[in-house]
Structure 1
């Protein structure tokens, strides 16, 4: 939000008292583990805590709207758990309504980090071993041309080094065909396994949503409970994330205040894609959260509230990832590191789904930043205009870098 003079006016929402206790504990853990964390994070990745930060964030959000994104939302969560929230643009094109501050958005592939945390908790409980083949947990399922579940480990699924083909090929583009269609996890796996393997397990890194659908099935097989329930009981409820949820079967809308999301149809016309069935994303991309909730979750992943120190070390053991939007990034186990232009790195993930794009990062001092926009770039830019399309994508990731580096 801005005043008439253009000075950003953050909306500061104190956490509930029960949340405050959790944050205080987490801050102590970060301080106690500073020496070890320094080896993980590198130096220098600390978001400046001053009014200039708010100015930078607001200017960046305004710039995203100028590029064509209908709305942009951002949240800065400080080490003490307090968060400042910013918005730009319009919440609904048809009505001209305001963008809800810290509104709920579809977080797409950020869902993978929640799924990864549950798998890693099962590792801590002795139910899963990272270097055991997925065949041991899902016997007879992972089979296809060049595909053998006895040669693919749980770690390789988590790190996208399995070589499994992408099931979203052919369905993610044609939103009109799947917008209101329910697709079961097995439907998604069948789409993937009808294709040949892309490479031998462990040979290299390649992002594939198929990996995380299999991890979701692994979770359900071992816990005998649906994945939305495991994520809720293990992550959402302990962290008191009031606006984070895994939509249940058939749930196409939002539960709280939210901006509308937009996409483009086969004729190139923009349309409202807010209401859709996200089942095709499932354990790889189905969830909804507010920017501040996503910040708090990512902070908890890294400060010891969800995983022990040894497990976090495994999670942050990374390999180079082929991320054109953020050169130099590396992928761990459901978590990605991003080098900052000012030195050091932040850890986060990011997610794209029809109508919404989110990017985020957490710095060494526990400061977190999330930005969300209410369209994918190809929801308002011709897919043949590669330069402009890539520029819009890059502008979102650059907003994260600017929040940590520009003063």
Structure 2
């Protein structure tokens, strides 16, 4: 293994075949500041891998007659204005509710700005109609923030306590915690890093969003969870919780999505899985019908756990390659280079822009400005300026979004902005 990479943030990997002992490999540092290596007790933020835990708790709540999965979510969330959304719509990302963190990005939130889960739920409650047609998949972390609120309402306790008593404790997952406060100390926690021009920088921000993410755990604890999931799978001879939650087409064909899990129905290698990316951490948890479990946890923003897992799975089906060698090979993937910071406009630049107006949307916070410089449109949010690339009649591409506006930019009174997880935002001139 490259010795230099032992001084970088790295990986915790686990492969567990049915009826065999798990094989683990840890590489890199959990803390660059203290030179602390990643080991079996290192805990990582696994991001959206948490969704399967939240969905599992929802199914248990339905089994305990605390709610019905086909019940209107508004019965349990009086502030929710979209009246025909059901609890299972939230579980399977078919509510049409936009992702509230994506909405916050339009207000120009910066990396170290603080906001809470309730701030994001408030944005969800401003939405009065689905952003996509009923029944269509729209992946949105806000769905799982609302599910966390439902669970806390019907159980009259916190999601963290509920998960500890119903799942983590019984499965001996004693290193697993939902983090509910940015100041909370997580034992054995790794720090996450991104490569910078001169060394490394930390990537954590002061935000915790238990429900859709902010779950801290170890590879060993996740293996205990996947073992439990597989035992249920074997017992019922169908995908986990498929008897109560349908798996339907998702945003990543040909994969299906069910109770917080993607499903790959590949004949002979049927699997359920989820990936997570949060604050520089990434995670992958994969279990197949055969009982094979693959777990990858990364605290290196340039080393994505889903890519590592895909590499391990490819190698595992090469009969001449030893398991340990497959894990070592996965650690040698090329890192994704860090994204350069965009230059901010200078006062001289601003003088060359023609103002087109300030615009607001009742579904999103803050306001946006449009300017024109020469033949190019620019969109401004809290001092950040994106030059929009003209991609077709009335279509302009920005930094992770598209704008649909009149073909002529001489006068713009309204436009539609589409983010991947927050589409169809109608902006009008103030």
Post-superposition shift, 1:322? Answer: 1.7
2-structure distance, mates of 1:302, 1:83: 15
Q: Which has the higher strand share?
A: 2
State the Cα deviation string for residues 176-212 of structure 1 (Å, max 9, x = none).
323xx351x321112334456321331x111100100
When residues 406 and 328 of structure 1 are mapped into structure 2, their CA distance, relative to the original with a 3 A threshold, is farther
Number of the residue aligned with 2:57: 118
Taking a change above 3 Å as real, the CA distance of residues 290 and 136 of structure 1, as seen in their structure-2 partners, is same
TM-score normalized by the length of structure 2: 0.64
Shift of 1:291: 1.2
Q: Tell me whether 1:272 sits opposite 2:211 in the alignment.
A: no
Aligned CA RMSD, in angstroms, stands at: 3.4
Aligned mates of 1:351, 1:308 — CA distance in 2: 27
CA distance in 1, matches of 2:68, 2:39: 43
Higher RCO (CA-CA < 8 Å; seq separation 6+): 1
Q: Secondary structure of the equivalent of 1:74? A: strand
* Whole-Å separation in 2 of the counterparts to 1:370 and 1:339: 19
| In structure 2, C-alpha distance between the alignment counterparts of 1:169 and 1:131, rounded to whole Å | 27
The equivalences for 1:372-387 within 5 A come to 372-377=297-302
Q: Closer, same or farther in 2 for the Cα pair 1:81/1:121, shift >3 Å? A: farther
Match of 2:286 among 357, 361, 386: 361
Deviation at 1:95, TM superposition (A): 4.6
Q: How many residues align?
A: 314
- 2:263 matches 1:337: yes
Give the gaps of 5 or more residues in structure 2: 320-430
Q: Is the 8 A contact 1:77 1:296 kept in 2?
A: no
Check 1:345–1:304 CA distance in 2 against 1; reply closer, same or farther (3 A cut).
Answer: closer
Aligned equivalents of 2:93, 2:243: Cα separation in 1: 15
2:40 matched to which residue of 1?
A: 101
Q: Which residue of 2 aligns with 1:319?
A: 248
User: Within 5 A, what are the aligned runs for 1:297-316?
Assistant: 297-304=225-232, 312-314=241-243
Gapped runs of 5+ residues in structure 1?
1-5, 7-61, 381-391
Q: Structure 1 CA distance, aligned partners of 2:147 and 2:53?
A: 11
Question: CA, structure 1 residues 182+165, in 2 after alignment: closer, same or farther (shift >3 Å)?
Answer: closer
Cα distance in structure 1, aligned partners of 2:21 and 2:109? 40
TM-score normalised according to structure 1 size: 0.68
- Choose 1 or 2 for highest CA Rg: 2
| Corresponding residue of 1:246 | 178
- From 106, 112, 116, the equivalent of 1:177 is 112
Deviation at 1:120, TM superposition (A): 0.2
Given the alignment of the two structures, is residue 259 of structure 1 paired with residue 197 of structure 2, yes or no? Answer: no
Residues 1:373 and 1:128: Cα distance change in structure 2 (over 3 Å): same
- For the 8 Å contact 2:91–2:143, the answer to whether it is kept is yes
Q: Which residue of 2 aligns with 1:13?
A: none
- Match of residue 124 from structure 2: 192
Distance 1:362 1:175, change over 3 A: farther
Q: Secondary structure at the match of 1:176?
A: coil
Whether 2:319 is the aligned partner of 1:396: answer no
